[in-house]
Amino acid sequence: MSSAGFPEGFVWGVSTSAYQIEGATSADGRLPSIWDTFSADRAEACDHYHRYAEDVRLMKDLGMAAYRFSVSWARVFPQGDGKPNAAGLDFYDRLLDELGDAGITPYATLYHWDLPQALEDRGGWPSRDTARHFADYAAAVHERLGDRVDTWFTLNEPWVAAFLGYGSGSHAPGRTSAAEAFRSAHHMLLGHGLATQALRAAGAARVGAVLNLSPVMTPAQVSDFDRPLSDEDAEAVRRIDALANRQFLEPMLRGSHPAELLPIVERNGGLGHVRDGDLQTIAQPLDLLGVNYYTPLVVQAQPSELADPAWPGSEGVLFCTVPTAVTAMGWPIVPGGLSLLLRRLSHDHPDLDLMITENGADFVDVVTGDDIHDVERISFIEEHLRALRAAVEEGARVRGYLVWTLLDNLEWSDGYRRKFGLVHVDFATQRRRPKDSALWYRDVIRRNGLAETRPRRPTLETVA
Ligand code: GBH
């Protein structure tokens, strides 16, 4: 491994999700998902459903070794259950053939937030039945695609789906109940366990889950991770870490609940939905944990009894803005947070293989003629890759890195104005144009690492 290089066999690629790129929301028997119901935008997205061959060619030209996509549940079970819709599965069949021809390894995610509306109408994730339907769906997808997909991810970011979907209501289905958010989180975890069992029984080669994980820190720690904390701040950090990270990590990887969580759930609807044996079902051995890293959570104790609706249990905690560089969405850019997170995961779960399944940023790109200059995206990825390599050198078992995302796409509640792509999409014509970052990333993949140059601008770490 050269000083800027990565281990041999390190996997490079990109991630996408079905709702954000596919479009064709009523093609071949598909019925609405909760996002079709919720979203004001016409969901033609990138029309990837019809342009997948072009998109695979693009990935091939950019040297991608891996492609993580998600399957739309509403294509496979438009009514939520019954007989799988073969025409819906055909699309993924075609996509996988194309990927196979291009020599790109597929990583399939089963749930990237797009519950069939029919299941929401029957109670959604607050209902325990949804977990069982999820396992049936996983089995049906594996039955059809399992000969070409080795690695399966059950859920993407259950925190977002549960707490933004059912807590703050900023995501579909837009419900606003702390109790339903906690019930949803538990039923998603249960669905993960049941789906993992079903996938194993069907002979799936590798099964994992994808979590959005964030190191939690105070404002002062953003520039000095080792800064000591007052007792009040330490408690605030621990509590938010339990809600954001350990609420999912501990059931999946240890079969337990974090101690801080239980009194919070007791105060927010109670624990009646948690049955004996659930934790055992959830804690299936995992081959791979997908880590999505964007930004840390910055908090401090404050003397107030208000909780953010996305964070039931956060009474007395202030979510802080910090004077660092931010992305266009205002998310603080803290590459060192990735090393911190990986160090901690390696310490807490030493035998677990990790993969960075999403990392990336939205910026305002500069379009000059045919060129799209996105120096900020290049710096963002470069700095995060340096942080990742530092963690790998210390022994973190990170098997690959996937950029979020291939294409400018439909960014959930924010619609089309957020630009996360390595590739620019003109939504009037659906024309794709690789940005500078795409060509830069192609070179990273070719040399299996970064060029031996210094960062283009000082990072937080070099300033501190
Ligand atoms: C991912 O989620 C999704 O998997 C993907 O579909 C999406 O397109 C992509 O990210 C970009 O949004 O405002 O400072 O408090 C990201 C999960 C959770 C990360 C909320 C940022 C808030 C940061 N996000 N978090 S802040």
Of 22, 98, 120, 157, the active-site residue reads 157
Arithmetic mean of pLDDT, 433-457? 89
pLDDT of the residue at 460: 53
DSSP letters spanning 263-278: HHHHHTT-STT--TTH
Cα-to-centroid distance, 122 and ligand 1 (Å):
28
214 ligand 1 Cβ < 6 A: no
pLDDT of the residue at 369: 85
Cα-to-centroid distance, 410 and ligand 1 (Å):
13
For the CA of 420, the closest atom of ligand 1 is 11
pLDDT band at 41 (very low <50, low <70, confident <90, very high): confident
Query: Is residue 56 over pLDDT 60?
Result: yes
Cis bond upstream, residue 228 (ω within 30): no
d(CA 85, CA 210): 26
Arithmetic mean of pLDDT, 414-442? 97
For the CA of 297, the closest atom of ligand 1 is 15
Rounded to 10 deg, the angle between the 436-447 and 375-393 helix axes is 30
Arithmetic mean of pLDDT, 21-31? 97
pLDDT tens digits, one per residue of 309-336: 999 999 999 999 999 999 999 999 999 9
Q: Is 233:218 a contact under the CB 8 Å cutoff?
A: yes
pLDDT tens digits, one per residue of 332-366: 999 999 999 999 999 999 999 999 999 999 999 98
Taking residue 168's Cβ as centre, other Cβ atoms within 10 Å add up to: 18
Arithmetic mean of pLDDT, 59-73? 98
Of 120, 358, 383, 461, the active-site residue reads 358
pLDDT band at 458 (very low <50, low <70, confident <90, very high): low
Cα-to-centroid distance, 411 and ligand 1 (Å):
10
Q: What is the percent of the chain where pLDDT is above 90?
A: 93
pLDDT of the residue at 183: 98
pLDDT of the residue at 456: 57
Please classify residue 449 by burial: count the beta carbons closer than 10 Å to its beta carbon, then call 0-12 exposed, 13-18 middle and 19+ buried. buried
For the CA of 17, the closest atom of ligand 1 is 6
The answer for residues whose C-beta is within 8 angstroms of residue 118's C-beta and 6 or more apart is 31, 78, 79, 80
111 ligand 1 Cβ < 6 A: no
Query: Is residue 293 over pLDDT 50?
Result: yes
Query: Is residue 457 over pLDDT 60?
Result: no
Measuring from atom 8 of ligand 1, which residue has the nearest CA? Answer: 411
pLDDT of the residue at 377: 98
d(CA 88, CA 141): 10
Query: Is residue 175 over pLDDT 90?
Result: yes
Q: Which residues pair with 371 in a beta bridge?
A: 368
Which structure tokens are listed for 75?
Answer: 């294509």
Residue 157 a catalytic site member: yes
For the CA of 414, the closest atom of ligand 1 is 12
Residue 411 a catalytic site member: no
Candidate of 212, 299, 338, 410 to mutate for ligand 1, largest count of ligand atoms within 8 Å of Cβ? 212
pLDDT tens digits, one per residue of 111-162: 999 999 999 999 999 999 999 999 999 999 999 999 999 999 999 999 999 9
d(CA 163, CA 61): 38
Arithmetic mean of pLDDT, 232-258? 98
Instruction: Name the nearest CA neighbour of 275 among 142, 401, 186, 348.
Output: 186
Q: What is the greatest pairwise CA distance in the chain?
A: 62
pLDDT of the residue at 382: 98
Arithmetic mean of pLDDT, 48-76? 98
Q: What is the mean pLDDT of the chain?
A: 96
∠ CA 242-298-184, nearest 5°, is 40
153 ligand 1 Cβ < 6 A: no
Cα-to-centroid distance, 8 and ligand 1 (Å):
30
pLDDT of the residue at 286: 98
The answer for residues whose C-beta is within 8 angstroms of residue 244's C-beta and 6 or more apart is 159, 213, 214, 216, 297
Query: Is residue 252 over pLDDT 80?
Result: yes
420 ligand 1 Cβ < 6 A: yes
336: left (phi over 0), alpha (psi -120 to 50) or beta: alpha
Arithmetic mean of pLDDT, 429-438? 98
